[in-house]
Amino acid sequence: MLKSLLAASLLVLGGHACAASTDVAPVNVILHGQRFTAELATHEAAREHGLMARTTLAPDHGMLFVFPDTAPRGFWMKNTLIPLDILYFDAERKLVSAQLDVPPCKAAPCPVYPSAGPARYVLELSAGTARRIGVRDGDTLTIDGRLGTVD
């Protein structure tokens, strides 16, 4: 009985750990004419977990962080194993700043990579993607899909 209860508890906890990285179905985003499949992080736990512990990220995939407000943002790479481009967008989904080729950070203290202006959306892509597709400040991010609730 105790083993069954323990096994069931571990399954529930394992499910929560997996669910922390994203919280709703992926959406398609279009940036500078390129389409990406983006996992969504619209809740605090999903935003905190982000792309931690990932060893790969497909070239046409990313993660879109959605915040309930527009404010200066800062991201760090703690326990993130792959280099990323971090793109900050305002409430109108215009690119306000980018941190490119941000290296992984496996041990604290990890530097914070801030936005140059207030942002509501943050898109993480594989490092080098923004440069490869020619992203520029002011580019508009199109989101094709449902964002769900944001908190």
For residue 15, give Cα distances in angstroms to 1, 9, 70. Answer: 21, 10, 31
Instruction: Count helices and strands (H / E) in the chain.
Output: 3, 9
Task: Please name the residues in contact with 148: beta carbons below 8 A apart, sequence gap of 6 or more.
Answer: 23, 24, 40, 42
- pLDDT at position 121 is 98
Nearest 5°: CA angle at 67, between 131 and 110? 60
Residue 16 DSSP label: H
Per-residue pLDDT of the chain (151 residues; tens, 9 = 90+): 333 333 333 333 333 333 344 556 899 999 999 999 999 999 999 999 999 999 999 999 999 999 999 999 999 999 999 999 999 999 999 999 999 999 999 888 999 999 999 999 999 999 999 999 999 999 999 999 888 889 8
C-alpha 112/C-alpha 74 separation (Å) is 6
Q: Write the single-letter amino acid at 139.
A: D
Q: How far apart are the first and last CA of the chain?
A: 39
CA-based R_g, the chain, Å: 16
**Domain annotation for the chain: domains and CATH numbers:** 21-144 (2.60.120.1140)
C-alpha 133/C-alpha 16 separation (Å) is 35
Backbone φ, ψ for residue 17 (5° rounding): -65, -40
C-alpha 68/C-alpha 150 separation (Å) is 6
3-class SS shares of the chain: helix, strand, coil, % to 5: 20, 40, 40
